[in-house]
Amino acid sequence: MYKRILLATDDSRLSRKAEKSAIALAASLEAGLVVLNVVPDYPVSFFDGSVSVSPQDVARIEQAWTDKGQAVVDAVVAAAAKKGVLARAALAHSDRVADAIMAAARKHKCDLIVMASHGRRGVARVLLGSETQHVLTHSTVPVLVLR
């Protein structure tokens, strides 16, 4: 059925639940797993003119975010290996999380995207947006959303 599954994770409680489900699904289907964390870019333009942040500080912060993202995906890859699932880590650097997820699915030729939904409703959803909803609406690849 599915041969390569993209798991998008942000290390939240709900994402950790999705990780377990994605690993179990990949194991049952004997599918490969691509574990993705989207690392945000430092919002330099947001602070222009108001806060003085040196380029070295920006680089240090971005590196710390990248290191944390790498640690997240490496831990999931290790957990998948314990279940006999061939998994690989992937990082994307972008402020557009949903677009980065869909681009990674295309890049790695995934035929399923697995991700968690944070279940925001009402005003919170309008104000914060929904990356999951964006992926569901725009992806050409099937999406499995877990809560």
pLDDT by residue for the chain (147 residues), tens digit each? 899 999 999 999 999 999 999 999 999 999 999 999 999 987 765 555 566 778 898 889 999 999 999 999 999 999 999 999 999 999 999 989 999 999 999 999 999 999 998 755 555 444 445 888 899 999 999 999 998
Residue 71: per-residue pLDDT: 98
**In this structure, are residues 117 and 147 in contact, taking their beta carbons and an 8 Å threshold?**
yes
The CA–CA distances, whole Å, from 35 to 40, 80, 103 equal 16, 10, 13
- Provide the β-strand partners of residue 32: 4
Q: 21 is written with which tokens?
A: 């489900």
Listed as own residue / partner, the contacts of 89-94 with beta carbons closer than 8 Å and 24 or more positions apart are 89/35, 90/34, 90/35, 90/36, 90/37, 91/36, 91/37, 91/38, 91/39, 91/66, 92/36, 92/37, 92/38, 92/39, 93/38, 93/39, 93/40, 93/41, 93/66, 94/38, 94/39, 94/40, 94/41
Residue 55: per-residue pLDDT: 82
Residue 43: per-residue pLDDT: 72
Residue 54: per-residue pLDDT: 81
- The model carries a pTM of 0.87
